[in-house]
Amino acid sequence: MTGSLAGGAMAPGRVLLIGCGPGDPDLLTVRAVRAIAEADVLVVDRLVGDGVLVHARADAVVISVGKKAGGPSTSQDEINRILVREALKGQRVARLKGGDGFVFGRAAEEIAAIRAAGIEVEIVPGITAAHACAARIALPLTLRESVRQFSLVTGAAADGDLDLDWASLAAPHQAFAIYMGVRTARALRHKLLAAGAPVSLPIVVVENGTRANELAISTTLGDLIDAIAAFGVTGPAIIFGGLHWSDANLTMPDNVHVYCASVDCATASAHEASAPDVI
Protein backbone atom coordinates (compact mmCIF):
# COMPACT_ATOMS: atom_id res chain seq x y z
CA MET A 1 0.00 0.00 0.00
CA THR A 2 1.37 3.39 -0.97
CA GLY A 3 0.05 5.21 2.08
CA SER A 4 -2.33 7.94 3.24
CA LEU A 5 -2.34 11.69 3.13
CA ALA A 6 -2.62 13.78 6.29
CA GLY A 7 -6.19 13.79 7.57
CA GLY A 8 -6.89 10.22 6.46
CA ALA A 9 -7.33 10.76 2.72
CA MET A 10 -5.72 8.03 0.65
CA ALA A 11 -2.77 9.08 -1.47
CA PRO A 12 -3.05 7.93 -5.09
CA GLY A 13 -0.93 4.94 -5.94
CA ARG A 14 0.81 4.49 -9.27
CA VAL A 15 0.53 2.29 -12.32
CA LEU A 16 3.35 0.55 -14.15
CA LEU A 17 2.62 -0.58 -17.72
CA ILE A 18 4.90 -3.57 -18.10
CA GLY A 19 5.74 -5.31 -21.35
CA CYS A 20 6.15 -9.00 -20.48
CA GLY A 21 7.46 -10.26 -23.80
CA PRO A 22 5.92 -12.96 -26.01
CA GLY A 23 5.56 -15.68 -23.37
CA ASP A 24 8.87 -17.10 -22.18
CA PRO A 25 9.39 -15.60 -18.69
CA ASP A 26 13.16 -15.73 -19.23
CA LEU A 27 12.71 -12.85 -21.66
CA LEU A 28 11.42 -10.47 -18.98
CA THR A 29 13.66 -7.49 -18.36
CA VAL A 30 15.25 -7.05 -14.94
CA ARG A 31 13.12 -3.92 -14.45
CA ALA A 32 9.95 -5.88 -15.25
CA VAL A 33 10.79 -8.62 -12.72
CA ARG A 34 11.43 -6.04 -10.02
CA ALA A 35 8.22 -4.13 -10.78
CA ILE A 36 6.10 -7.29 -10.74
CA ALA A 37 7.57 -8.30 -7.39
CA GLU A 38 6.75 -4.90 -5.87
CA ALA A 39 3.13 -4.70 -7.11
CA ASP A 40 0.08 -4.83 -4.84
CA VAL A 41 -2.28 -5.50 -7.77
CA LEU A 42 -1.55 -7.14 -11.12
CA VAL A 43 -3.90 -6.53 -14.05
CA VAL A 44 -3.02 -9.26 -16.52
CA ASP A 45 -3.57 -9.79 -20.26
CA ARG A 46 -4.35 -13.23 -21.72
CA LEU A 47 -1.07 -13.35 -23.67
CA VAL A 48 1.15 -12.93 -20.62
CA GLY A 49 3.14 -16.15 -20.14
CA ASP A 50 2.21 -18.46 -17.27
CA GLY A 51 5.64 -18.24 -15.65
CA VAL A 52 5.55 -14.45 -15.37
CA LEU A 53 3.35 -14.42 -12.27
CA VAL A 54 5.92 -16.53 -10.41
CA HIS A 55 7.64 -13.22 -9.69
CA ALA A 56 4.56 -11.71 -8.00
CA ARG A 57 4.17 -11.51 -4.22
CA ALA A 58 2.03 -14.21 -2.64
CA ASP A 59 -0.35 -11.58 -1.26
CA ALA A 60 -0.72 -9.64 -4.52
CA VAL A 61 -4.19 -9.41 -6.06
CA VAL A 62 -4.36 -10.75 -9.64
CA ILE A 63 -7.08 -9.42 -11.96
CA SER A 64 -7.42 -11.11 -15.36
CA VAL A 65 -8.53 -8.85 -18.19
CA GLY A 66 -7.88 -11.10 -21.16
CA LYS A 67 -9.02 -10.36 -24.69
CA LYS A 68 -9.67 -13.08 -27.24
CA ALA A 69 -10.72 -12.44 -30.82
CA GLY A 70 -14.24 -13.79 -31.25
CA GLY A 71 -14.40 -14.86 -27.60
CA PRO A 72 -14.97 -13.45 -24.11
CA SER A 73 -13.13 -10.18 -23.61
CA THR A 74 -12.77 -7.38 -21.11
CA SER A 75 -13.49 -4.06 -22.80
CA GLN A 76 -10.76 -1.44 -22.93
CA ASP A 77 -12.97 1.00 -21.02
CA GLU A 78 -13.39 -1.52 -18.23
CA ILE A 79 -9.64 -2.14 -18.09
CA ASN A 80 -9.06 1.60 -17.81
CA ARG A 81 -11.58 1.80 -14.97
CA ILE A 82 -9.89 -1.07 -13.11
CA LEU A 83 -6.46 0.54 -13.36
CA VAL A 84 -7.73 3.90 -12.10
CA ARG A 85 -9.87 2.32 -9.38
CA GLU A 86 -7.03 0.27 -7.91
CA ALA A 87 -4.50 3.09 -8.08
CA LEU A 88 -6.92 5.49 -6.35
CA LYS A 89 -7.00 3.03 -3.46
CA GLY A 90 -3.32 3.80 -2.99
CA GLN A 91 -2.16 0.57 -4.59
CA ARG A 92 0.95 0.01 -6.68
CA VAL A 93 -0.64 -1.43 -9.83
CA ALA A 94 1.25 -3.50 -12.42
CA ARG A 95 -0.48 -3.67 -15.78
CA LEU A 96 1.00 -6.76 -17.46
CA LYS A 97 0.89 -6.84 -21.24
CA GLY A 98 2.14 -9.45 -23.68
CA GLY A 99 5.02 -8.32 -25.86
CA ASP A 100 5.54 -4.57 -25.62
CA GLY A 101 2.68 -2.27 -24.68
CA PHE A 102 3.60 0.28 -27.34
CA VAL A 103 3.35 -2.23 -30.21
CA PHE A 104 -0.36 -2.88 -30.86
CA GLY A 105 -0.90 -3.02 -27.11
CA ARG A 106 -3.31 -0.09 -26.55
CA ALA A 107 -0.93 1.41 -24.04
CA ALA A 108 -1.71 4.95 -25.21
CA GLU A 109 -5.38 4.61 -24.24
CA GLU A 110 -4.48 3.35 -20.78
CA ILE A 111 -1.87 6.04 -20.20
CA ALA A 112 -4.37 8.74 -21.15
CA ALA A 113 -7.01 7.38 -18.74
CA ILE A 114 -4.52 7.00 -15.90
CA ARG A 115 -3.08 10.49 -16.30
CA ALA A 116 -6.55 12.00 -16.61
CA ALA A 117 -7.24 10.65 -13.11
CA GLY A 118 -4.11 12.38 -11.79
CA ILE A 119 -2.21 9.14 -11.31
CA GLU A 120 1.48 8.62 -12.02
CA VAL A 121 2.28 6.06 -14.69
CA GLU A 122 5.58 4.44 -15.65
CA ILE A 123 6.23 2.46 -18.85
CA VAL A 124 8.44 -0.63 -18.69
CA PRO A 125 9.23 -1.78 -22.26
CA GLY A 126 9.18 -5.44 -23.24
CA ILE A 127 10.43 -7.56 -26.11
CA THR A 128 7.83 -7.44 -28.86
CA ALA A 129 6.68 -10.69 -30.45
CA ALA A 130 8.13 -10.09 -33.92
CA HIS A 131 11.66 -9.67 -32.59
CA ALA A 132 11.45 -12.62 -30.22
CA CYS A 133 9.84 -14.98 -32.74
CA ALA A 134 12.44 -14.12 -35.38
CA ALA A 135 15.26 -14.65 -32.89
CA ARG A 136 13.94 -18.10 -31.94
CA ILE A 137 14.31 -19.32 -35.52
CA ALA A 138 17.41 -17.24 -36.40
CA LEU A 139 15.54 -15.26 -39.06
CA PRO A 140 17.21 -11.86 -39.62
CA LEU A 141 14.69 -9.01 -39.93
CA THR A 142 16.97 -6.76 -41.98
CA LEU A 143 19.86 -7.43 -44.35
CA ARG A 144 22.46 -4.80 -45.13
CA GLU A 145 22.31 -5.12 -48.89
CA SER A 146 18.83 -6.40 -49.60
CA VAL A 147 16.28 -5.73 -46.85
CA ARG A 148 16.54 -2.17 -45.60
CA GLN A 149 12.98 -1.62 -44.47
CA PHE A 150 11.09 -3.74 -41.96
CA SER A 151 7.50 -2.89 -41.07
CA LEU A 152 5.28 -3.93 -38.17
CA VAL A 153 1.61 -4.01 -39.17
CA THR A 154 -1.62 -5.36 -37.73
CA GLY A 155 -3.92 -7.75 -39.52
CA ALA A 156 -6.87 -6.74 -37.37
CA ALA A 157 -8.99 -3.62 -37.74
CA ALA A 158 -11.83 -2.37 -35.56
CA ASP A 159 -13.96 -1.54 -38.62
CA GLY A 160 -12.93 -4.63 -40.58
CA ASP A 161 -11.13 -2.62 -43.29
CA LEU A 162 -7.44 -3.57 -43.63
CA ASP A 163 -6.31 -0.14 -44.75
CA LEU A 164 -2.53 -0.54 -45.08
CA ASP A 165 0.07 0.69 -47.54
CA TRP A 166 -0.08 -2.50 -49.58
CA ALA A 167 2.09 -1.18 -52.40
CA SER A 168 4.92 -0.50 -49.97
CA LEU A 169 4.57 -3.89 -48.28
CA ALA A 170 4.53 -5.66 -51.63
CA ALA A 171 7.53 -3.79 -53.06
CA PRO A 172 10.83 -5.62 -53.65
CA HIS A 173 13.42 -5.61 -50.84
CA GLN A 174 10.78 -4.89 -48.19
CA ALA A 175 9.98 -7.11 -45.24
CA PHE A 176 7.20 -7.06 -42.69
CA ALA A 177 5.65 -8.76 -39.68
CA ILE A 178 1.88 -9.01 -39.36
CA TYR A 179 0.42 -9.20 -35.88
CA MET A 180 -3.07 -10.67 -35.37
CA GLY A 181 -3.26 -11.79 -38.99
CA VAL A 182 -4.38 -15.42 -38.84
CA ARG A 183 -8.12 -14.73 -38.97
CA THR A 184 -7.69 -12.25 -41.83
CA ALA A 185 -4.96 -14.14 -43.69
CA ARG A 186 -7.07 -14.66 -46.81
CA ALA A 187 -7.77 -10.93 -47.11
CA LEU A 188 -4.12 -10.11 -46.39
CA ARG A 189 -2.99 -12.49 -49.12
CA HIS A 190 -5.48 -11.02 -51.59
CA LYS A 191 -4.38 -7.44 -50.85
CA LEU A 192 -0.67 -8.25 -51.19
CA LEU A 193 -1.13 -10.10 -54.48
CA ALA A 194 -3.29 -7.30 -55.85
CA ALA A 195 -0.53 -4.84 -54.94
CA GLY A 196 2.01 -6.81 -56.96
CA ALA A 197 3.60 -9.17 -54.45
CA PRO A 198 4.71 -12.44 -56.14
CA VAL A 199 3.16 -15.76 -55.19
CA SER A 200 6.71 -16.86 -54.37
CA LEU A 201 7.13 -14.20 -51.68
CA PRO A 202 8.66 -16.02 -48.67
CA ILE A 203 6.34 -16.27 -45.70
CA VAL A 204 7.19 -17.55 -42.23
CA VAL A 205 4.47 -18.11 -39.64
CA VAL A 206 5.38 -18.45 -35.97
CA GLU A 207 2.58 -19.46 -33.60
CA ASN A 208 2.98 -19.31 -29.80
CA GLY A 209 6.49 -17.97 -30.24
CA THR A 210 8.96 -18.68 -27.36
CA ARG A 211 6.45 -20.96 -25.62
CA ALA A 212 6.61 -24.73 -25.17
CA ASN A 213 4.05 -25.25 -27.98
CA GLU A 214 5.82 -22.97 -30.46
CA LEU A 215 5.21 -23.80 -34.12
CA ALA A 216 7.17 -22.31 -37.05
CA ILE A 217 6.24 -22.80 -40.71
CA SER A 218 8.08 -21.72 -43.84
CA THR A 219 5.83 -21.26 -46.87
CA THR A 220 5.03 -18.76 -49.61
CA LEU A 221 2.36 -16.14 -50.10
CA GLY A 222 0.69 -18.40 -52.64
CA ASP A 223 0.44 -21.24 -50.13
CA LEU A 224 -0.23 -19.20 -46.98
CA ILE A 225 -3.89 -20.14 -46.52
CA ASP A 226 -3.28 -23.85 -47.12
CA ALA A 227 -0.30 -23.83 -44.75
CA ILE A 228 -2.35 -22.27 -41.96
CA ALA A 229 -5.08 -24.87 -42.47
CA ALA A 230 -2.66 -27.79 -42.74
CA PHE A 231 -1.00 -27.03 -39.41
CA GLY A 232 -4.16 -25.85 -37.64
CA VAL A 233 -2.74 -22.42 -36.83
CA THR A 234 -5.14 -20.35 -34.75
CA GLY A 235 -2.78 -17.88 -33.05
CA PRO A 236 -1.40 -15.97 -31.41
CA ALA A 237 0.97 -15.84 -34.36
CA ILE A 238 3.29 -13.56 -36.29
CA ILE A 239 3.28 -13.74 -40.09
CA PHE A 240 6.60 -12.63 -41.57
CA GLY A 241 6.81 -11.64 -45.23
CA GLY A 242 9.79 -11.03 -47.50
CA LEU A 243 12.29 -12.87 -45.30
CA HIS A 244 14.08 -16.15 -45.89
CA TRP A 245 17.23 -17.71 -44.46
CA SER A 246 18.73 -18.26 -47.91
CA ASP A 247 18.81 -14.50 -48.52
CA ALA A 248 21.19 -14.22 -45.56
CA ASN A 249 23.23 -17.29 -46.56
CA LEU A 250 21.84 -19.11 -43.55
CA THR A 251 20.36 -22.58 -43.20
CA MET A 252 16.76 -22.99 -42.13
CA PRO A 253 16.59 -24.46 -38.59
CA ASP A 254 15.45 -28.06 -38.27
CA ASN A 255 12.48 -27.08 -36.09
CA VAL A 256 10.86 -25.06 -38.91
CA HIS A 257 8.22 -26.97 -40.87
CA VAL A 258 8.02 -26.44 -44.62
CA TYR A 259 4.75 -26.22 -46.54
CA CYS A 260 4.99 -25.65 -50.28
CA ALA A 261 2.44 -26.91 -52.77
CA SER A 262 2.78 -24.48 -55.67
CA VAL A 263 6.25 -22.91 -55.24
CA ASP A 264 9.60 -24.29 -54.09
CA CYS A 265 10.12 -22.74 -50.64
CA ALA A 266 13.82 -23.52 -50.72
CA THR A 267 14.35 -21.23 -53.69
CA ALA A 268 11.62 -18.64 -53.08
CA SER A 269 13.15 -15.26 -52.37
CA ALA A 270 11.91 -11.76 -51.76
CA HIS A 271 13.95 -10.73 -54.78
CA GLU A 272 12.26 -13.09 -57.24
CA ALA A 273 9.49 -11.66 -59.39
CA SER A 274 6.57 -13.62 -60.68
CA ALA A 275 3.08 -12.58 -61.65
CA PRO A 276 0.52 -12.74 -58.85
CA ASP A 277 -2.06 -15.46 -59.21
CA VAL A 278 -5.62 -14.56 -60.00
CA ILE A 279 -8.05 -14.87 -57.11
Digit-coded pLDDT (tens) for 35-50:
999 999 999 998 898 8
What pLDDT, on a 0 to 100 scale, did the predictor assign at position 72?
Answer: 66
CA distance 68 to 45: 10
Which tens digits make up the pLDDT trace of 198-218? 999 999 999 999 999 999 999
Catalogue the active-site residues.
45, 67
Domains, the chain, ordered by start: 6-127 (3.40.1010.10), 130-258 (3.30.950.10)
Is the pTM higher than 0.85? yes
Look at the chain and count its residues: 279
- CB atoms under 10 Å from CB of 276, counted, come to 20
Which tens digits make up the pLDDT trace of 76-95? 999 999 999 999 999 999 99
In the predicted structure, residue 24 carries a pLDDT above the cut 90: yes
Which tens digits make up the pLDDT trace of 224-241? 999 999 999 998 999 999
Q: Which residues pair with 94 in a beta bridge?
A: 16, 42
> What value does the mean pLDDT take over residues 97-119?
95
